[in-house]
Chains A and B, each alone.
Chain A
Amino acid sequence: MNPPIPLLEIRELYVNYGGIQALQNINLTVNAGEVVTLIGANGAGKSTTLRAISRLINPRSGQIVYQGRDITRRPPHEVVRLGIAHSPEGRRVLARQTVLDNLELGAYTRSNSAEVKADLDRQFEIFPRLAERRLQLAGTLSGGEQQMLALARALMSRPKLLLLDEPSLGLAPAIVREIFSIIRDLRATGVTILLVEQNAKLALESGDRGYVLEAGRITLTGQAANLLNDDQVRKAYLG
């Protein structure tokens, strides 16, 4: 068997916020087709890792390599064009714009309007609730619908790598299950996903591999199933 092809490789990444070291010596790989989960407590550096990849923040040192090319110093819009979509924490939908506008903005970097239209229809198939509300202002959607919109918007850039930050944040359990079933469906269609999630059990159940972040460092890594049964992880995150 061939070794898996790394789609994303992070090498010795350090990120500082002012004087505070947010990330220290992060080494992480995501292979094509995988769902990789980052778990950890609040402030452990999960969101920071995603933001460093999508280039919304500047790392102090280290390397982010995507499809064999160094993107550590590329601007964020170029990273989107290369096929990395970031669905940020807190959803960040544009509240004053319609669902449709939000989705079309998600395809901002793409110019083939026929393809964009096809992808728009696809999102409405995956998320029928968004289709019903396509002309409604995004701010009037429920939390779950906003999360679906954020997810659909990220998919509109036709990403090879999807960075998902806390998709379950503040949502009712039934909606969370719905969102995660969509995430599993996405994985089946070949989208590679790097998932950050507080709900460690759910995240590990939907993922192939996982990394445990503690105070800006990776303390544990392995197959998701093994992490689920790891005593340390069970005690700290699964309760």
Chain B
Amino acid sequence: MNGFLSTYGFLIVSMVMGALLGLSLYLPLMTGQLSLASPGFYALGGYIAAILSTQVFKVSDGLYPIGLVLLEMSIAGVVSGVLGVLVGIPALRLRGIYLAIATIAFVEVLRVLSLNLDITGGAVGIFGIPQPFLTPIEYLWIAIPLLLVTMVLLYRLERIRLGRAFTAIREDELAAGAMGIDPTHYKVLAFTLGAILAGVVGAVSAHFLNTWNARQGTFDASIVYLTSVLIGGTRTFVGPVLGGMVFTALPEVLRAIADTAGLPLWLAQFLRDGRLIIFGVLIVLGTIFFPQGLVTPDLFKRQKNRKSHS
């Protein structure tokens, strides 16, 4: 067991983080907004944690206190939330593909800024971010509660007034407006909640990865998390959770397959480096064959019916 955890601990924590980032993309999608801004807020949260822990708090001896990590997470969440409102208000005037493009631009702006600012360490980034734990797997002490709390909140959200307003806006904005739901208000709210979540996850990730640079939270990451949400399912929060886990693990699985002996060299290389191509193909196939994703609310209903009949 210990051997397994030390080999796969890193991957397991990454999968939980992937699930959380999937959810941060799912939140704006609840109101029908295709936003790819999550990786930008993720990067921002990571830089906030990296800068605070290496330059402000400076704990030199022993393990870094978890309390400070939690404080960094809160600060990252607040800053991401404020930026989320500021970006959300103008960006959410756009719809569909135009919003997607605008949010990609936002992620790029943050990336270029972090490459060129001194405080973010330029192209080198920030390294030697202090560790609150001895082994990677222990990050689950933060990641799992965060995922559970987020899932419980989303479960509740999908069942209260606010969630109904989100769904109504996704289905028919004009009808929602005619019913007295203010679409702009709720769209900005959903976008901001997604931003906060991504920022908080970024703060944890910075410690987890030990270094933080402009390669974190790029356009590539947007596509990966978009895949996990689209394939996982866009109608219930369970979809992005499963999708986020599966698609974080997928590159590792592909790498393992590539290592099997006897594969032609080109295929092995494609499995290792063709990740984005594979994800792209999956998005296309997924939207054709599973337009609502693999996990749909009907799936649960069917399960329930089956149980009640037997």
A104-B164, A108-B161, A108-B165 as given contacts; A77 in contact with B181, CB under 8 Å: yes
Q: Is B261 an interface residue (CB 8 A)?
A: no
B-chain residues with CB within 8 Å of residue A86 when the two chains form the complex: 178
A94, CB-defined interface residue at 8 Å: yes
Contact across chains for B171 and A97 when beta carbons are under 8 A apart: yes
Note all chain B residues with C-beta closer than 8 A to A80.
Answer: 178-180
Residues of A within 8 A of B176 (CB): 105
**Nearest CB of B to A119, in Å:** 14
B interface footprint on A95-113 (CB within 8 Å = 1, 0 otherwise): 1110001001110110000
* B220 located at the interface, meaning its Cβ lies under 8 Å from any Cβ of chain A in the complex: no
Please give, as numbers and ranges, the residues of chain B lying within 8 Å of A154 by CB-CB distance: 178
Give Cα A93 to B179, complex, Å.
Answer: 11
Q: In the complex, are the beta carbons of A56 and B178 less than 8 A apart?
A: yes
A-B contacts, 5 of them at CB < 8 A, read A54-B178, A94-B171, A95-B171, A108-B181, A153-B179
CA gap between A92 and B171 in the complex, in Å? 10
Count of B interface residues, CB-CB < 8 Å: 16
A70-103 CB contact bits vs B (8 Å, 1 = yes)? 0000011101110001111000111111000100
Chain B residue numbers with a CB within 8 Å of A157 are 179-180
Interface residues in B170-216 (C-beta closer than 8 Å to A): 171-172, 174-182
Closest to B178 in A: A86
Chain A residue at minimal CB-CB distance from B176? A105
In the complex, A86→B177 CA distance in Å?
Answer: 9
How long is the Cα–Cα vector from A162 to B11 in the complex, in angstroms? 58
- Contact indicator B178/A88 (Cβ below 8 Å): yes
For the side of the interface on A, what is the size category? 20 to 34
Residues of A within 8 A of B43 (CB): none
On whether the beta carbons of B182 and A94 are closer than 8 Å, the reply is: no
Q: Flag whether B92 is at the interface (Cβ < 8 A).
A: no
Across the interface, name the chain B residue whose C-beta is closest to A91: B175
Known interface pairs A94-B175, A105-B168, A108-B165; 10 further A-B residue pairs with C-beta atoms within 8 A, sorted by A's residue number: A79-B180, A80-B180, A88-B175, A96-B171, A105-B164, A105-B179, A108-B161, A108-B180, A108-B181, A157-B179
Shortest beta-carbon distance from A48 to chain B in Å: 13
| Cβ of B301 to closest chain A Cβ, rounded Å | 11
A86–B180 Cα gap in the complex (Å)? Answer: 10
- Which of chain B's residues have a CB closer than 8 A to the CB of A153? 179
* Chain A residues whose C-beta falls within 8 Å of the C-beta of B172 in the assembled complex: 92, 94
Which A residues have a C-beta under 8 Å from some C-beta of B?
Answer: 54, 56, 75-77, 79-81, 85-88, 92-97, 101, 104-106, 108-109, 153-154, 157
Q: Give CA–CA (A56, B173) in the complex, Å.
A: 10
A9 to chain B, nearest CB (A): 21
B residues sitting closer than 8 Å to A (CB atoms) are: 161, 164-165, 167-168, 171-172, 174-182
Q: Which of A76, A81, A95, A97 contacts B177 (CB 8 A)?
A: A76
Closest partner residue, chain A, to B161 (CB atom): A108
Alpha-carbon distance A81/B181, docked complex (angstroms): 10
Q: A104-B164, A108-B165 are in contact. Are A92 and B180 (CB under 8 A)?
A: no
How far is the CB of A33 from the nearest CB of chain B, in Å?
23
Q: Chain B residue with minimal CB distance to A86?
A: B178
Contact for B180 among A76, A87, A93, A104, CB less than 8 A: A76
Inter-chain contacts of A79 with B (CB < 8 A)? 180
Give CA–CA (A87, B161) in the complex, Å: 21
- Contact residues in B for A76 (Cβ distance below 8 Å): 177-178, 180, 182
Q: Is B161 a contact of A93 with CB atoms below 8 Å? A: no
Given contacts A75-B182, A76-B182, A108-B161, contact A56 B168 (CB under 8 A): no
For B167, list chain A residues within 8 Å (CB): 94, 96-97
Q: Tell me whether B164 and A101 are in contact (CB under 8 A).
A: yes
CB distance from A201 to the nearest CB of B (A): 27
A104 CA to B176 CA in the complex, in Å?
Answer: 12
Q: Which A residues are in CB contact (< 8 Å) with B161? A: 108
- Of the candidates B165, B175, B182, the one whose C-beta lies within 8 Å of that of A92 is B175
Considering residues B165, B172, B179, which has the most beta carbons from chain A within 10 angstroms of its beta carbon?
B179
Across the two chains, which residue of chain B brings its CB closest to A75?
Answer: B182
Whether the pair B180, A77 counts as a contact (CB closer than 8 A) is yes
CB atoms of B171 and A108 under 8 A apart: no
A88-B180 in contact (CB<8A): no
* Most interface-central of B171, B177, B180, B181 (chain A CB within 10 A): B180
Name the residue on B nearest A87 (C-beta): B178
Chain B residues closer than 8 Å to A94, beta-carbon distance: 167-168, 171-172, 175
A95 / chain B contacts, CB cutoff of 8 Å: 171
Please report the C-alpha to C-alpha distance between residue A157 and residue B178 in the assembled complex, in whole angstroms.
10
Closest B residue to A55 by CB, please name it: B177
How distant is the Cα of A101 from the Cα of B161 in the complex, in angstroms?
Answer: 10
Sorted nearest first, the 8 A-B pairs with minimum C-beta distance are A80-B180, A92-B175, A109-B180, A77-B182, A86-B178, A77-B180, A94-B171, A76-B177
Complex Cα–Cα for A77 and B171 (A): 17
Residues from chain B with a CB closer than 8 A to the CB of A96 are 167, 171
A88-B181 contact given A101-B164, A104-B164, A105-B164, CB 8 Å threshold: no
